[in-house]
Amino acid sequence: MFEGAECNGDVRRTLTAKSRPSVESSSGVQGGGSQRLQVLLAGLGAVAGLGAALGGYALLYEPFDVRTERLEVRLLRDRAGLPSEGLTILHLSDTHFRGADRREHAKIEQVRRATAGEEIDLLIHTGDFLHNDGGLDNVLALIDCIPKPRLGAYAVTGNHDYVFYNMKRAPQHSWRLFLAREAANGAGNGTLSSSVKKGSGKAGIRNLLRFGRYLLRNRFDGEPAGVNDIGRLRRALEERGMQFLDNRAVRLGETGVHLVGVEDLMEGRPDLKKSLKGVPHDAPTVLLSHNPDIIEAVEAGRADLILSGHTHGGQIVLPLIGPTYTQTEQLSRSEASGYSRRGRTQVYVHRGLGEGVPVRFGAPPHVTFIRLLPARQNSSAGAGGDGNRG
């Protein structure tokens, strides 16, 4: 990678004998330093090479490695109305299309292959169809490539369907949101947080420590930079037979199953009480919410299954650490994607097909086929463990 004056033999031998050790010692030090430098440079080169390889993988390979996941989910409560053979749900989420045709067409083709020939009862999309309005044509192309579902296609909107964000200003915007929350918490307690009142010294350090905890709870938000035409998105998808369940519920055909949807928790006006109005308490209920933090609502416990997205599975998943940023405050990092439970309510969080920032590592995009099955006989008391999950 990375002789002069003459001298007699005795004198010459003496000088040579005295000088040899010092010359050899000096040469040894220089040689050792050179070897250490070469080893260091080689190590740095290896690290740089590994970093470049991992970066290339995260940017150029994994975002296009669309997987197919299949699971069975049994109700944990006896409910009347779910067919004995169950229902097959194709769950999609977080396509984040922006009109990057080469990238997005590659994903559309993989979804077409993954779903070709499949018999689907329900197509569910849990929001963030768009990253910005430029992705609408590719969203429609994606829906067009999927086999027609027997009982219909349903969706809720995500925060990006309303707004596009400037992530370069995310640190400043997150800081302002943090200060606003601190002030609100102080006002709610009748006092203003000392860390908000004071901006220097120990109070300032405490402020920064609290902000660090705020970020570790996955509160890192881009600054809103403009709005997307959500009305145009709705109309275009409704023309293709997709129904939006923002704050309303529908009964699926002749079954007793009810689908319930809420508007996005960040940019919409979610009203779960309104959504559940008219839904029988003993009906099998599937709740659609872009953001899985809907589980915080007391009424969410009425749902048998919650389908969400929003987290991207953390998008970057590191060894020992797990998902780096999950965008959820109510789920643990281990629950940032896939199946989990809250009592008798089961939750499935989709990693999404697209990305806000176009890299993935350890959280590949996917499509999911969920087979929703009735509860096992005599399970009204609640069967434990994963026996109710296929």
Do 19 and 11 meet the contact criterion of CB atoms below 8 Å apart?
no
Same domain? 262 vs 335 = yes
Which amino acid belongs to residue 176?
Answer: R
Residue 220 lies in a domain: no
Residue 341 lies in a domain: yes
Residue 45 lies in a domain: yes
Residue 221 lies in a domain: no
pLDDT tens digits, one per residue of 56-114:
889 899 999 999 999 999 999 999 999 999 999 999 999 999 999 999 999 999 999 99
Which pair of structure tokens corresponds to residue 220?
A: 């890192």
End residue of a domain, out of 176, 195, 215: 215
Angle formed at CA 184 by CA 183 and CA 185, multiple of 5 degrees: 90
Residue 248 and residue 274: Cα distance in Å, rounded? 7
Same domain? 263 vs 383 = yes
Residue 154 lies in a domain: yes
Same domain? 188 vs 306 = no
Same domain? 264 vs 326 = yes
Q: Which domain CATH number covers 128?
A: 3.60.21.10
Q: Count Cβ neighbours within 10 Å for each residue of 227-246 and write b for 16 or more, e otherwise.
A: ebebeebbebbeeeebebbb
Residue 127 lies in a domain: yes
Strand partners, 259: 250, 286
Same domain? 142 vs 124 = yes
Global pTM reads: 0.79
Same domain? 233 vs 142 = yes
Q: Is the pLDDT of residue 5 over 60?
A: no
Same domain? 49 vs 74 = no
Taking each helix axis as running N to C, give the angle between helix 136-144 and helix 230-238, from 0 to 180 degrees, rounded to the nearest 10: 20
Which pair of structure tokens corresponds to residue 194?
A: 């000392």
Residue 304 lies in a domain: yes
Domain residues for the domain of 209 are 168-215
- Specify the DSSP element, H or E, that contains 307: strand 305-308
Count of domains in the chain? 3
Same domain? 189 vs 309 = no
Kindly report each contact of residues 232-240 with a partner whose C-beta sits within 8 Å and lies 24 or more positions away, as own/partner. 232/133, 232/136, 233/129, 233/130, 233/136, 233/139, 233/157, 233/161, 234/157, 236/136, 236/139, 236/140, 237/129, 237/139, 237/140, 237/143, 237/155, 240/140, 240/143, 240/144, 240/153
Same domain? 41 vs 109 = no
More confident residue, 383 or 159: 159
Do 374 and 86 meet the contact criterion of CB atoms below 8 Å apart?
yes
Same domain? 317 vs 174 = no
Q: What is the mean pLDDT of residues 201-220?
A: 68
Average pLDDT, the chain: 84
Residue 52 and residue 171: Cα distance in Å, rounded? 26
Residue 120 CA, chain-centre distance (Å), reads 25
Which pair of structure tokens corresponds to residue 181?
A: 């929350």
Same domain? 348 vs 260 = yes
User: Which band of pLDDT confidence, cut at 50, 70 and 90, is reported for residue 387?
Assistant: very low
End residue of a domain, out of 215, 248, 279: 215
| Number of neighbouring beta carbons within 10 Å of residue 68 | 14
**What is residue 50's predicted lDDT score, i.e. its pLDDT?**
65
Same domain? 361 vs 268 = yes
